[in-house]
Structure 1
């Protein structure tokens, strides 16, 4: 008798504790909705990429380097409707940034440019990661947007510097002199004596 009464009491306690109050649930949902609206508003304000070519070299590359043009176009298009739209845009930007390593013009396919592309890709992937979290760190995303703007500008200036350096004419004999300065190709001044047995 005691066992059945105890088990009945335990079941009643469990059933009553499992029922949630609809008012509490509604309040929690309202708080969560307000929080998501604030996050959306902060991201919407901070999502301002500078996608305009800063110099002539960058403008020329937008016609010759399709991946660069597509990436800049994606940066220039701002989603407006919801967090989901920003998540989709971040995913697309991440894909476009990864494609920048494809078909780099030969003149610009050097470690300096590739490392800037790697940094840019890392920062875009970080935005993609943060915006897909359950608790979205909106301030971190806004900070990354500003950092990406800086990286895009520095890459454009790097491309311009490469072009300017390539247009500088070399003087007669300068190529030979540079080869002589290359320590990997230099002839040792003290030859190793041969041991005669």
Structure 2
């Protein structure tokens, strides 16, 4: 009986050791895979903020939300994949406030649209980097796309400054107001003609009935 019990205990020990060995092997493989993903992302992780015109810099330097977003995104994690995941989560929160705090000088639909697109790309990065199976190629692609969107935002700002710097011809403001007044008058005249055309058949029917 004692012999049987001893064999049974030995059998359980062997099974337990085998299970532990498998778990340990799987843990090592997972750790190696995460380390490989970390190295791949680390090589690609670089966000470029173009040199802006002095007039643009003057505005964005006082835009705290943009400066915080920029500083957060440029800081590269150096320890682990988890550090990248935490970084992207923080950057995503920073990006949420950009469209709500655009400086008056840049608060036009084109700029807001660019910022929304930028935020969407970062949200996608946040989603993919937290998946159990991280799609490395998609992560690398999104880093490139985010850089393109950042460049597009700066290009839009430069266009605003350039347009403001173009001098207006003498009397241009007066001419624009005159054209607007003419357009308004023509519109009212057209509306009156259309209204008369609508009423004309009714008048003819009334005459015929008489």
State if a TM-score over 0.5 links the two structures.
Answer: yes
Q: Which deviates more from structure 2 when the two are superposed, residues 60-69 or residues 165-174? A: 165-174
Is contact 1:94–1:125 with CA below 8 Å preserved after alignment? yes
Higher Rg: 2
TM-score by length of structure 2 reads 0.75
After superposition, where does 1:67-78 map in structure 2 within 5 Å? 67-78=65-76
Correspondence for 2:109: 111
Partner of 1:127: 125
RMSD: 2.6
Instruction: State the Cα distance separating 1:109 from its structure 2 match.
Output: 1.0
Q: Deviation per CA, 1:36-91: give whole Å up to 9, x if none.
A: 11100011111111135443344223322111111111121111111111111101
Unaligned runs of 5+ in 1: 1-14
Q: How many equivalent pairs are there? A: 181
Counterpart of 2:177 in structure 1 is 176
- Paired with 1:181 and 1:174, the residues of 2 have a C-alpha distance of 10
Q: TM-score, normalised by structure 1?
A: 0.80
**Which deviations, in whole Å up to 9, do the C-alpha atoms of 1:97-152 show, x marking residues without a partner?**
11102321122111101110100000011111111111111221111111111100
Matches of 2:139 and 2:73, distance apart in 1: 14
Unaligned runs of at least 5 residues, structure 2: 1-11
Offset of 1:182 from its aligned partner? 6.3
State how far apart, in whole Å, the 1-side matches of 2:24 and 2:120 are: 39
Alpha-carbon distance change, 179 to 137 in structure 1, aligned in 2, over 3 angstroms: same
Note the C-alpha offset of 1:163.
1.6
Change in CA separation of 1:154 and 1:174 when aligned onto 2, cut-off 3 Å? farther
